[in-house]
């Protein structure tokens, strides 16, 4: 893989625009997919990394969101697996604070949430959640402020085990179509009622069990050998989800509300390291990134992260690091919120980045992004161009690695020996933060559950 080259002004988001302001509060559509890696798209996730584009997968509607809005090349899921990410997003708190595993002492509805924040604006937002809620979330969507939801759904709801086959032909695969139907119906109802809305569509695809329609399977079987260790069935499942996303975008157009609706697309963690029944030889599913789901390598947490909406320049790029827990304060500001959010909200509004002003840094309580997975004995602190990866020896800090993930997305070069002062400074900041929130340690995490 070639090293990336950058101009002096590379840190700037490539978008200079006048941010339009509508008299009506904006709507929000947040699309969250499951186990879809950063490079598992048919468009470029990075302008200088042609090798990151898949030539086998077809994701035209994900591409539409990316091309019509801003692509964050260093967008991150808060955690490398689903439930910690979902808790983190809904509460705007890092997974280090809100819980690093499926089981957590953190109770979401006792804290600030996205629906609560939007309702604080006084603009009469109606909030709904469709699809996968999460495993052992403790709080229901309604307790978190959602007015409508599919309930306490999880992995089993959308198809879970039976790995012995590389595909299953079923009605309503992964519930993708029915989830989309309910989301569109909700959006139509709010349009008719004249109310601003927040709709979160959390798809079950592409998690584990491969389900799809026969026509999708045949389409990808006829395409020949995948460019990475996918299967035609897995690719078809992803393609069906992309088609459903297109239905949502079309509905916004037909209702003539797209111009006042922010559409955010991201995934809950990096792609799986292995696809059931995929070829043993070839490029890894997350190529060119290192690692996969469950790890804090880039392949485990760097994910597609696109935002389309009022005033966002089409086909723009931003290389500043952002995470899913930045969405709560971002939505709140875009919705007109002016009151201060609780200090336990770790995320910062990325509105300045969406405006194209990356020189105005994102203001968070912790300067930078923190990722923490004591079960894997690793923590990460990302600030500016650099990423510190800290291993743990029981409860004591162990070896630290330093990467410039702005230029070195594949984490090929450890800079810790060349930049010991930066390592020491970032390590101190990370440890101070973890101590301040009484973060879980290696001794605190519950025993591992299988199959997730």
Write down the pLDDT at residue 26. Answer: 98
Q: Using CA atoms, how far apart are residues 350 and 85, in angstroms rounded to an integer?
A: 18
What's the pLDDT at 446? Answer: 67
For the chain, what is the domain count?
A: 2
Name the domain boundary from 302, 324, 354: 354
Q: Kindly report the length of the chain.
A: 452
Please tell me the pTM assigned to this model: 0.93
pLDDT at 402: 98
Strands in 292-445 per DSSP E: 305-308, 316-318, 322-323, 369-373, 378-383, 386-393, 396-404
- Residue 163: which pLDDT band, with cuts at 50, 70 and 90? low
pLDDT at 395: 87
- Beta carbons within 10 angstroms of residue 282's beta carbon: 14
**Domain annotation covers residue 37:** yes
Helix/strand/coil for 156: coil
What value does the mean pLDDT take over residues 314-339? 97
Crossing angle of the two packed helices 176-193 and 232-254, in degrees rounded to 10: 10
User: Which tens digits make up the pLDDT trace of 2-53?
Assistant: 444 444 333 434 443 334 445 799 999 999 999 999 999 999 999 999 999 9
- Given this model, what pLDDT does residue 181 score? 98
With cut-offs at 50, 70 and 90, classify the pLDDT of residue 149: very high
Tens-place pLDDT, residues 53-92: 999 999 999 999 999 999 999 999 999 999 999 999 999 9
Residue 306 CA to residue 69 CA, distance in Å, equals: 7
Tell me which of 291, 320, 354 is where a domain ends.
354
Paired with 316 in beta bridges are 70
* CA distances for 249 relative to 187, 246, 254, angstroms: 11, 5, 9
Share of the chain above pLDDT 90, in %: 87
Q: pLDDT tens, 376-418? A: 999 999 999 999 999 999 889 999 999 999 999 999 999 999 9
d(CA 338, CA 346): 17
Q: Classify residue 401: in a domain, yes or no.
A: yes
Give yes or no for a contact between 71 and 414, defined as CB atoms under 8 angstroms apart.
no
Residue 164 is classified by DSSP as: T
Q: How far apart are CA 168 and CA 211, in angstroms?
A: 5
Whether the per-residue pLDDT at 310 is higher than 70: the answer is yes
pLDDT of residue 358: 79
- Cα–Cα distance, 167 to 183 (Å, whole number): 26
The pLDDT value given to residue 6: 42
348 secondary structure, DSSP code: -
Instruction: Give the distance from CA 319 to its chain's centroid.
Output: 15
pLDDT band of 164, cuts 50, 70, 90: low
What pLDDT score was predicted for residue 81? 96
SS3 call for 239? helix
In this structure, what CATH number is given to the domain that contains residue 248?
3.40.720.10
Which of 296, 321, 354 is the C-terminal boundary of a domain?
A: 354
- CB contact at 8 A, 303 and 36: yes
Q: What pLDDT score does 161 carry?
A: 66
Q: Domain range spanning residue 390?
A: 369-436
- pLDDT in the model for residue 162: 57
pLDDT in tens, 425-440: 999 999 999 999 999 9
Specify whether the CB–CB gap between 332 and 347 falls below 8 A: no
CB contact at 8 A, 322 and 72 = yes
Average pLDDT for residues 255-280, to the nearest whole number?
96
Residues 209 and 108 in one domain: yes
> 293 with 410, same domain?
no
> Residue 380's domain is classified under what CATH number?
3.30.1120.10
Indicate whether 393 and 290 sit together in one domain: no
More confident residue, 309 or 15: 309
Same domain, 395 and 285: no
pLDDT number for residue 2: 43
Q: Is residue 450 part of a domain?
A: no
């Amino acid at each position: 893989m070639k090293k990336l080259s950058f101009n002096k002004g590379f840190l700037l988001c490539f978008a200079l625009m006048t941010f339009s302001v509508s008299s009506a509060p904006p709507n929000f559509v947040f699309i969250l997919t499951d186990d879809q890696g950063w490079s598992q798209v048919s468009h470029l996730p990075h302008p200088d990394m042609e090798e990151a584009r898949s030539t086998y997968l077809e994701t035209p509607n994900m591409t539409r969101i990316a091309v019509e809005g801003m692509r964050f090349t260093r967008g991150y899921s808060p955690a490398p697996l689903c439930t910690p990410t979902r808790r983190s997003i809904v509460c705007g708190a890092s997974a280090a604070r809100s819980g690093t595993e499926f089981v957590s002492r953190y109770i979401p509805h006792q804290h600030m949430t996205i629906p609560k924040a939007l309702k604080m604006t006084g603009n009469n937002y109606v909030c709904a959640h469709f699809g996968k809620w999460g495993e052992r979330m403790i709080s229901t969507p309604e307790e978190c402020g959602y007015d409508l939801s599919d309930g306490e759904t999880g992995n089993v709801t959308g198809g879970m085990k039976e790995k012995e086959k590389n595909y299953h032909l079923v009605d309503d695969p992964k519930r993708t179509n029915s989830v989309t139907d309910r989301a569109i119906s909700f959006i139509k109802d709010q349009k008719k009622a004249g109310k601003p809305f927040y709709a979160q569509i959390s798809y079950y695809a592409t998690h584990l069990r491969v389900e799809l329609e026969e026509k999708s399977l045949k389409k990808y079987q006829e395409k020949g050998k995948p460019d990475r260790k996918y299967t035609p069935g897995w690719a078809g499942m992803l393609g069906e989800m992309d088609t459903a996303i297109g239905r949502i975008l079309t509905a916004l157009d037909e209702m003539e509300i797209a111009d006042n609706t922010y559409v955010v697309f991201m995934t809950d963690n990096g792609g799986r390291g292995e696809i059931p029944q995929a070829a043993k030889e070839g490029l890894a599913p997350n190529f060119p990134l290192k690692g996969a789901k469950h790890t804090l390598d880039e392949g485990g947490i760097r994910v597609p992260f696109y935002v389309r909406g009022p005033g966002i320049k089409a086909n723009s790029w931003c290389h500043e690091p952002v995470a899913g827990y930045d969405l709560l304060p971002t939505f709140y500001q875009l919705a007109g919120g002016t009151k201060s959010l609780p200090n336990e909200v770790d995320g910062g509004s990325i509105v300045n980045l969406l405006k194209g002003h990356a020189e105005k840094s994102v203001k968070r309580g912790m300067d930078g992004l923190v990722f923490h997975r004591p079960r894997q004995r690793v923590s990460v602190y990302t600030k500016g161009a650099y990423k510190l990866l800290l291993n743990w020896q029981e409860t004591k800090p162990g070896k630290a690695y330093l990467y410039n993930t702005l230029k070195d997305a594949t984490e090929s070069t450890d800079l810790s020996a060349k930049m010991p002062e930066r390592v020491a400074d970032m390590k101190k900041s990370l440890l101070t933060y973890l101590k301040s929130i009484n973060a879980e340690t290696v001794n605190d995490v519950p025993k591992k559950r299988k199959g997730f």
